[in-house]
Structure 1
Amino acid sequence: MFKQQKVSVAVRQVLLASGLLVTVPVMAQDNSAAEASKDKEEKAFETIVVTGSVPGRTQIESAIAVTTVDAEMIKDFQPSSESEVFRMIPGIQVSGTAGPGGNSNIAVRGLPVATGGSPFVQIQEDGLPTVLFGDMNFGNNDYWTRFDSSVDRVEGVRGGTAGTFSSQSPGAIINYISNYGEVEGGLLRLTTGLGYDEKKLDFRQGGALSDNVNYHLGGYVKQGKGPLDAGFNVSESAQIKANLTKYFGDANYVRFLVKVADTQEPNYTGAPALADYDGHSFSNLRPYPGFDGRSQSNYSIHNQEFMIVNRSGDLERVEMSGITTEALALGNELHYEFSNNLVLDNKMRWTDMSGGFTSPFLNVVSTSSVIGSSLNGATVGSIRYANGPLAGTLYDQDYLNNNTNVHTSMRDVGSFVNDLALSKEYELGDQLVTARAGYFYMNQNIASDWHTNRTFSELSGNNPAMLELFDTSGNQLTANGIAGFNNNWGSCCARDYDLAYTDTAPYLALDLDNDLFTLDASVRRDTVDASGWALSGGSEFSTLVSGVAIPTIIANGSQENLDYSVSYSSWTVGGLYKLNEDTSFFTRASKGGRFNADRQIASGKINADGSLNQAGQTAAVDFVHQYELGVKRRGDVLDGYYSLELTLLKGDFKQSTYELSATLCGGAGGCVIDAEYKSQGAEILGTLRLGDFSLVGNATYSDAEKKSAGSSSWVRADGIPDLIYTLSSNYHINDQWITGLNVTGQTTAIDGAGNEYPSNYTLGANLKYSPTDNLQFGLQVYNLTDEFDIRGSGGVADASVSPTVISGGPVIGRTVNLSVTLSY
């Protein structure tokens, strides 16, 4: 992998939580430019859909819920993480507080994430998955993809064909589509944080090498401490993507693609807060004194590296590097149209990829509850600062952080994927029938080892120090805050595994089209073969560190050897009625499956011969049922133009999966979560342009419920607000100045314990100045009023005091950045 000096430039933590914004690009104020802009918007529904559908059909003609977000829209919004890009797609529900490294819980259409990651949403690059499974432990699929200047647009397909045109994606496909150099030119963009340390350089260049060869090269380099000042560089990232396309005639082509990435980004694990609490709901949320989650985190110069006991049983020092990835991907794409209406499409990618998750988790407990408690066979008598300016003095604060320093090495997340499809058109009178048959193959490696240290540190947002604990006789019980190696969650979670999953899936799609309506049906048959081994923790022993005996667990306990295969089918049936060229209605029913991969291991589901036992067979595949009814409409209003996409939804699924969280399991050691979920609601995207003013609205309404195993009653699903919404407006002042205002927010949501968090919203603003056609200066402000808004719910830390101490994931506070873009 390549490693560069990572030039600075700022990631825009600016418009962090307004990710849903789909800002309409405003071009110029004069009438001709306004007309050009209107033409561009009118053609939005004419974009050819290339994700999760029969090729060659426009958005308004497709009987699916699909949204296209182009690079200009994303640039205007300035998302600071991949989850912020996803919020620009209706139906995708993320809190947007995990940080630019990833690790977001990505829900879709009110179907919540029972444990973590994105179990029902697949992220693709140029039509192929970046990883096969979206919820790999410590390897969620938002780690491995970065929006940069190489991307032309992002397509999001929800429901229906997402489960039959791709594997492991019954909820949605989010496809990053590259710029292939059809238009000559490029850009350089420098972005810097104002008042915080972060710099980013974006670049791209593309065009024609000859009459039948196009190329494109793009990427970014980034460095900084971030808007939640870590005291050291937590962002050090670079990515380059390139492609070369050779055309044969008007339609046929072969394309070669390459990506090289080396990224390091922070994962924010929350902050304490104060709230008024009535036993059921929180109100009047405000920052905790000394730890304001709008501008601070528990990253610290006093914890920027720490000791682990590695998979060989040796002491090793690791950096607090957040989420890291290294990737080399080589791809090939062939499109060939034969003379008899037979079309061949083949996409292939080989990826060598690895990464890591190293983060300071947060859990707020009272200091008095630790004093007098039992630790490592002794009674805690006192606590002192281990390092920092107060090193050696007694710790007398009311609360501390007793959560883990976790280091997970994703040694191998490499893959090989190929998707081959043949399609043929038949004319039956006035009807056009398209038949498409394909075969998908993907081998996904998942090799990882976990190191979850039991750790104590100061509760502070200003470079918190580590804490040493002593027994009643003054004997030291910890080593630089570490009270245990690999034992924070018990012997279950000192894991080491090397797994491989091979997914083969033939699929078939039939599509009938005439001037008034379309009908389609598709089916997919996935077979997943699992192999490899997994080790859990063995017996506890002591590791001597500076004369202190630290309890240690390593992965030398029971071993599982996987050797099983699971097959299942997914299907969808849908249709669209064309009322006229500006209005269409569609309906769809579908059943999509997804396979539970590494979350099956170390949970009592694997027999000694490598097969699945009854519990494993029951939990192997989760099925999602969805029903959709939608309308797509565009037209003129007053002297302007509008577009509208509205989809009514109903869905359900069952899930049985292994969970690590002590909060959800009621104690350390992990547990199996069995539950049913159902949701109904609507998603909407609307745009309006009146002269030089534009407005875009994006909202998802969900009535989501769950029923736990053994229960007969349905309750409100946690983590899913009833309504998530965004409004974004832009006004073209003249041919040089553009200004904009946006608001994004949500209604109330509950945590796993049923506590309700209040509704809230944040405001954002932007200003752009173009002294010439190819030079632009931009100023973006996120959270204009510096609102304290917790979107990622946490939990109660101490309800015995007033105000109550809680924890959660606040959105970034007022953040300002400046950019300058040279285009040519």
Structure 2
Amino acid sequence: MKRGYLFLAAAPLALAAPAYANTVSNTANAPKVEADAKADAPAQDAKKQEEVFSTGVAKGRDRLDSATSTSALRASEIDKIGARSISEILRDIPGIRSEAATGEGSANITIRGLPIASTGAKFLQLQEDGLPIFEFGDIAFATADTFLRADLNLAAVEAIRGGSASTFASNSPGGIVNFISKTGDVEGGSVQLSTGLDYGMRRVDFDYGAKLSPTLRFHVGGFWRDGEGPRATGFNSTRGGQIKVNVTKEFDGGYIRIYGKYLNDITPAYDITALGVSGTNDKPVYKNIANYDVRHDTLFSRNFQSLLTLDGNNQPVLDDMTAGQHPIVKSIGVESKFEIGGFDVTERFRYAGMSNHYMGIYYTQFVPAAAMAGAFGAPGGSLRFASGPNAGTTITAPASLNGNGLGALMMIADTDLNDLSNVTNDIRASRVWNVGGNDLTTTFGLYSSHQTIDSDWNWATVLSGVASNGDSQLLDVVTSTGVKVTQDGTLRYGSPTNPAQFNRGYKLGYTTNAPFASVNLKIGGVSIGGSLRYDFGKASGNVLGYDLGGGRVGTAPLDINRDGVIAVPEMQVAVLPLTRPAPVDYTYGYLSYSAGVNWRIAEPLAVFARYSRGGRANADRINFGPFISTTDGSLVDKDAAVDVVHQAEAGVKYRNDNLTVNVTGFWAKAEDTNLDSTTGLPIVRDYKAMGAEFEGSYRMGIFSLTAGATYTDAEITHDVLTPANNGNVPQHQAKLIFQATPQITTDKFSVGAVIIGTTGSFATAANTLKVPGYTTTNAFVQFRPLDRVTLAVNAANLFDVLAITAIDDAVIPAVGVARAHVLNGRTISASVRFDF
């Protein structure tokens, strides 16, 4: 546990259904996966198809022969129900908690009771074709799901929870989810046209694979789409696409594959929204405010299209508010497998040039419009419209503004992620030895990566009304003598109270090297194995910001709109102290290990147990806190560099022709050193969790059912900075999450539903305000009138349930409006697909 001292300084697709009992092949060559993706008929008996799983393990094995907890999703199921985002796919994997409220990126994701203390996926790694998208899953405003899209290129998804994930990847102690691409094993392709029936979406997907010779094949695919998106923004907020291509050359004993990807896609970052709340903290009642539906509306608007702020060089820039989340990826990679001296050697290398421009609402404060003048520096003053068709007009009845009388102070996170480049290499060699008639498998390897984080935070705070259909207008506050406190709706060129608080610059590089090794001995039906990994890393670079202290200047008067007048908001414009960077310069190292035993008692039955220790190196999240010296860049708190996770699990697995059942009990203990995304304050906590996980599937004729459930009992065992939180339940942690997918499949049609739910949780670690649970139901119908033609209709959140994933308030706000994060309401899409 981290102890030592108290810190006195502080920086302020509709869905996816799992096919757990069916075939998933390995990352390198996936012929069975791709064949399954093309199949329209029900899958063959599981008994006839071995469930080979290769993610986060030394060597691909049948899941009943491995002491791990794993799940797999087939492309045929993902395609069938039209998964709209990565975070929605992850909701349907047992053990994973995915808060899919922000759109197609920036989701909060965790696993098996490990905490979501800030944002992103700290303890869970997302991979694409066996390599991590980012070295760290919680880079601010650059979560891995933002840079990943599910389309017809996708062959399968593999997920490992805990276990050997700690030793076969860096910074992934909680688990790994690997998105595996098609590689042209099955010749042919598809074109799919999709449209939103009750929301703005137009999309085309394609993919094609073929053999150029008996030993040479390729695959290419991608998508393009545009439209307003699932919620009303008042403009074309979703636009872009991606293309992926790979070429594979096979030879005796192996293959070599070259692949590339180009992603350029814009989607809105929905994040915070306004939700009415009444009752008590223990029994709150949440409902929509007048003229605003959180399931279908947003705080974005056609009347707020640009934001005036400064760039990373303190130069005025007019940024595009419609940019939303704008990831750009240009990547190229090589994967190969070959034999040397009896060893199977696998080499994976990828360079990914990545960037992102994030325009989202980071913080809000909801205020009655009638009180805004007095609250923001103009007692006795008035409000005017600052944008839209009524710009310049005085609001005579603010108490009834937009039918709800509500105003919003919104801090806009205008964040330029200039360079997030990642270069990664993983080489490993395995060999199976005969020892006394038994198989001894040994593996050793070396992993190396470099992660760049080059970003500028140049934010602004605006005032706005709250209206439906993307019709909100910015507001100006005017004194009784006619002086504007705001400038075209902008209250501060920076954060609300201290403009310089979140004005930051990062120029950082993180190098990670990790040798690893494993051994597994199989004696009859018993397998005993263990693995080790040692990560050593270096952080270097510098950061900029007023809140680093040391006399750094954070604001200055500046005529930011170049009109020759220093208006009230221009008197204190947040500027970066460009000549006063603070260095970052430290090294770290940590050991991970995992050991397990698996006993395959009979062909359909196995039991296993495993204990693991893994680590997660902290990156940009520990800057701007008390953890790193601002004078020499060294660690003030040596423990802050790495957070350690201990895990134990034991379970039973059963599989026959029609039934698969996996039941696992788990225990975890975790550290977290972080900065809270809501308050900006440091977090230094220890957690523990225990629970049980169920995963199963059943098939009888044309009917099938897949289901999963995870029960978790978690608590904060030690909070260094807020001891009152000791013994409390971690924020957002539900006791039970569950999934179920019943469906009927014939040669001509498929029909089914995906039911996903969670029990309630607490809004914050203080355990005061409760957040209710919810159950969403999604439905799909697929009809095949002709060979190679598929018509489909998909409905997400069919019953338009108000599904709250998080509330940022510790107690019910006095104004009766909470800062909420919710899932999209009902959206229905239709598609036609042609296979050839």
- TM-score, shorter chain, exceeding 0.5: yes
The separation in 1 between residues aligned to 2:459 and 2:610, in whole angstroms, is 45
In terms of mean alpha carbon deviation, does 602-611 or 128-137 score higher? Answer: 602-611
Would you say the 8 A contact 1:450–1:486 is kept in 2? no
Aligned to 1:229: 232
Q: 1:170: Cα distance to partner?
A: 0.5
The separation in 2 between residues aligned to 1:269 and 1:658, in whole angstroms, is 18
Aligned to 1:53: 57
Distance 1:165 1:63, change over 3 A: same
Aligned to 1:661: 678
Q: State how 1:573-588 maps to structure 2 within 5 Å.
A: 573-588=595-610
Would you say the 8 A contact 1:380–1:470 is kept in 2? no
Q: 1:693: Cα distance to partner?
A: 1.1
| 1:116 has 2:138 as partner | no
The separation in 1 between residues aligned to 2:440 and 2:297, in whole angstroms, is 58
Aligned to 1:500: 509
Aligned with residue 752 of structure 2, among 731, 740, 745:
740
| 1:552 has 2:573 as partner | yes
The separation in 2 between residues aligned to 1:483 and 1:57, in whole angstroms, is 59
Aligned to 2:241: 238
Q: 1:57: Cα distance to partner?
A: 1.1
1:93-137 CA distance string (max 9 Å, x none): 01221112x111111101121111111111111111111110111
| 1:455 has 2:456 as partner | no
Would you say the 8 A contact 2:556–2:575 is kept in 1? no
| 1:813 has 2:825 as partner | yes
Q: 1:608: Cα distance to partner?
A: 5.1
1:571-616 CA distance string (max 9 Å, x none): 111110001111111111011001111112222333356342332x
| 1:571 has 2:588 as partner | no
Q: 1:416: Cα distance to partner?
A: 1.3
Paired residue type of 2:255: Y
Q: State how 1:334-349 maps to structure 2 within 5 Å.
A: 334-338=336-340, 340-349=341-350
Q: 1:688: Cα distance to partner?
A: 1.0
Q: State how 1:271-420 maps to structure 2 within 5 Å.
A: 271-283=273-285, 285-320=286-321, 321-338=323-340, 340-361=341-362, 362-373=364-375, 375=377, 381-391=381-391, 392-394=393-395, 395-396=398-399, 397=401, 398-420=405-427
SS of the residue corresponding to residue 78 of structure 2 reads: helix
Distance 1:761 1:740, change over 3 A: same
The separation in 2 between residues aligned to 1:697 and 1:317, in whole angstroms, is 49
| 1:486 has 2:494 as partner | yes
| 1:423 has 2:434 as partner | no
The separation in 2 between residues aligned to 1:400 and 1:600, in whole angstroms, is 34
Would you say the 8 A contact 2:17–2:741 is kept in 1? no
1:305-333 CA distance string (max 9 Å, x none): 11111122221111121111111111011
The separation in 1 between residues aligned to 2:473 and 2:338, in whole angstroms, is 62
In terms of mean alpha carbon deviation, does 687-696 or 601-610 score higher? Answer: 601-610
Q: 1:791: Cα distance to partner?
A: 2.5
Aligned residues: 781
Aligned with residue 99 of structure 2, among 77, 83, 95:
95
Would you say the 8 A contact 2:204–2:223 is kept in 1? yes
The separation in 1 between residues aligned to 2:187 and 2:172, in whole angstroms, is 35
The separation in 2 between residues aligned to 1:345 and 1:315, in whole angstroms, is 50
Unaligned runs of 5+ in 1: 1-11, 27-32, 663-669
The separation in 1 between residues aligned to 2:48 and 2:78, in whole angstroms, is 18
Q: 1:750: Cα distance to partner?
A: 1.1
The separation in 1 between residues aligned to 2:132 and 2:121, in whole angstroms, is 13
1:661-681 CA distance string (max 9 Å, x none): 23xxxxxxx321111111111
SS of the residue corresponding to residue 543 of structure 1 reads: coil
TM-score (norm 1): 0.91
Q: 1:370: Cα distance to partner?
A: 3.3
Paired residue type of 2:240: S
Q: 1:798: Cα distance to partner?
A: 5.9
Distance 1:148 1:106, change over 3 A: same
Aligned to 2:777: 763
Distance 1:450 1:379, change over 3 A: farther
Aligned with residue 185 of structure 1, among 185, 188, 193:
188
Q: 1:22: Cα distance to partner?
A: 5.1
The separation in 2 between residues aligned to 1:230 and 1:140, in whole angstroms, is 23
Q: 1:796: Cα distance to partner?
A: 6.9
Aligned to 1:728: 741
Aligned with residue 795 of structure 2, among 771, 778, 781:
781
Aligned with residue 530 of structure 2, among 514, 517, 521:
521
Would you say the 8 A contact 2:80–2:782 is kept in 1? no
The separation in 2 between residues aligned to 1:34 and 1:247, in whole angstroms, is 25
Paired residue type of 1:334: S
1:19-50 CA distance string (max 9 Å, x none): 56559999xxxxxx999735254456x23222
Would you say the 8 A contact 1:22–1:74 is kept in 2? no
Unaligned runs of 5+ in 2: 1-12, 24-37, 547-552
1:240-295 CA distance string (max 9 Å, x none): 1111111112x311111111111111111232223442232323x32221110111
Q: 1:800: Cα distance to partner?
A: 4.4
The separation in 2 between residues aligned to 1:541 and 1:809, in whole angstroms, is 35
SS of the residue corresponding to residue 298 of structure 2 reads: coil
1:33-77 CA distance string (max 9 Å, x none): 999735254456x23222111213122211111111111121223
The separation in 1 between residues aligned to 2:39 and 2:388, in whole angstroms, is 59
Aligned to 1:629: 650
Paired residue type of 1:572: S
SS of the residue corresponding to residue 673 of structure 2 reads: strand
Paired residue type of 1:494: N
Q: Output the aligned Cα RMSD.
A: 2.2
Q: 1:788: Cα distance to partner?
A: 2.1
Aligned to 2:29: none
| 1:539 has 2:554 as partner | yes
Distance 1:40 1:819, change over 3 A: farther
Would you say the 8 A contact 1:307–1:318 is kept in 2? yes
| 1:434 has 2:444 as partner | no
Q: 1:650: Cα distance to partner?
A: 0.7
The separation in 2 between residues aligned to 1:34 and 1:185, in whole angstroms, is 12
Paired residue type of 2:273: A
The separation in 2 between residues aligned to 1:465 and 1:176, in whole angstroms, is 41
The separation in 1 between residues aligned to 2:812 and 2:115, in whole angstroms, is 27
Paired residue type of 1:627: A
1:671-712 CA distance string (max 9 Å, x none): 211111111112222111111111111222111211422527
Aligned with residue 146 of structure 1, among 145, 149, 153:
149
Q: State how 1:673-684 maps to structure 2 within 5 Å.
A: 673-684=683-694
Q: 1:155: Cα distance to partner?
A: 0.7
The separation in 2 between residues aligned to 1:443 and 1:570, in whole angstroms, is 20
Distance 1:542 1:22, change over 3 A: farther
Would you say the 8 A contact 1:685–1:699 is kept in 2? yes
Identity level (%): 29
Q: 1:526: Cα distance to partner?
A: 0.6
SS of the residue corresponding to residue 735 of structure 1 reads: coil
Aligned with residue 732 of structure 2, among 710, 716, 719:
719
Would you say the 8 A contact 1:370–1:380 is kept in 2? no
TM-score (norm 2): 0.90
SS of the residue corresponding to residue 199 of structure 2 reads: coil
1:344-378 CA distance string (max 9 Å, x none): 11110111111111123443233355332354xx6
Distance 1:258 1:737, change over 3 A: same
Q: 1:419: Cα distance to partner?
A: 0.8
